[in-house]
Amino acid sequence: MPSYAVTDLDMARMAVGGTAPTSSMTEMEIVTEIQNRATAADTFEFSNFAPTANTVNVTCDNNNKSCVTGNIPDVGMLTFSLADIEDLSLVDDTGLMNFDSETQVVMIDGEVTIIQSHAEAGQDGGTQLTFQTYGGWLADSAFGVELMNVTEDGTTTNRFASFSFGDASGSNPVFLDRNSGELLQWRGTMVGTDTETGHVLHGDVSISYVNTNKNVLSEIRFSGVKNLNSGNDVTFGSGNSNDMLSFQDVPVANGSFASANGEVKGSFYGMNHEEAGGILNSGTHNVIGAFGAKK
């Protein structure tokens, strides 16, 4: 049986305060949940680390839900259909054979269902791929992080990717009173990986939008991040408090947001902006991840 990205599920749940699922889901049921969100999606964020951080632009056709990525270092361009996403693994059409996967629910973290997946694919006598995925979903969006081991000609390299997709609002959240100083806030879950060790990370995310008439998020904060392979706290340093990674004054336009340094970007999801999600890619802190939050 293939090993999962997180092997001690009880330790993982205890580390982040998650709870065990009340009922089991088959792999097909999990895939169906992801595909349902993919079918409704019109926004897809994708980020790559191979071996340096790159945020890749993805263009999606809303009519047939097909997407084309920008150039991915060491990979090239990928074309895929959101409706065909399975096990949160993005595999280009290169004739890969012997595809095998296992997927299970890890925990329920607030209103986010967290899953993990292990998949293997390869060509006879050629390239072998191993995918370790950790991610989750809410009502209108899904997100995840993926560690890819690529073995070719006897040499194995690690690549990382994070993604977020869903039924995008396409507009900025609306305040009840433009002069009230009203605060809108979304809280949820961040998943990621340490790009040096490949260990799985899991923490909290909060997104604050204050009515200042400037169309900027006052803060996107990642906190309480744990290394799920050890259960230890993750520290960031470098201008952030040890247990927190914060991005402030993040511009918002047409329902999407992105920090000035490009390390965090995302969108609001749902008819009434009930959810927010996106990707994190920080070479400074050796972390690539994704997140989903609810208002």
Provide the residue ranges of all domains of the chain, joining segments of one domain with +. Answer: 9-294
The pLDDT confidence band at residue 72, using thresholds 50, 70 and 90, is low
Residue, of 179 and 131, whose pLDDT is higher: 131
Does the pTM surpass 0.75? The reply is yes
- C-beta neighbour count of 34 within 10 angstroms: 23
- C-beta neighbour count of 94 within 10 angstroms: 11
Inter-residue contact 47 to 281 (CB < 8 Å): yes
Above 90 in pLDDT, residue 66? Answer: no
The pLDDT confidence band at residue 120, using thresholds 50, 70 and 90, is confident
Give the alpha-carbon dihedral of 169, 171, 175, 181, to 10 degrees.
120
Environment class of 42 (CB within 10 Å of its CB; exposed 0-12, middle 13-18, buried 19+):
middle
Distances (CA, A) of 257 to 38, 110, 115, 252: 20, 24, 26, 4
Segment 174-188 mean pLDDT: 80
The pLDDT confidence band at residue 178, using thresholds 50, 70 and 90, is low
Query: DSSP state, 277?
Result: E
Above 70 in pLDDT, residue 7? Answer: yes
Segment 205-226 mean pLDDT: 88
Inter-residue contact 265 to 258 (CB < 8 Å): yes
Work out whether the CA dihedral 203, 209, 215, 217 comes out positive or negative.
negative
Q: Report the candidate in 255, 264, 269 with the shortest Cα–Cα distance to residue 38.
A: 269
Give the span between the Cα atoms of 113 and 104, in whole angstroms.
11
Above 90 in pLDDT, residue 36? Answer: no
- Contacts of residue 119, Cβ cutoff 8 Å, sequence gap at least 6: 87, 89, 99, 100, 101, 102, 130, 131, 133
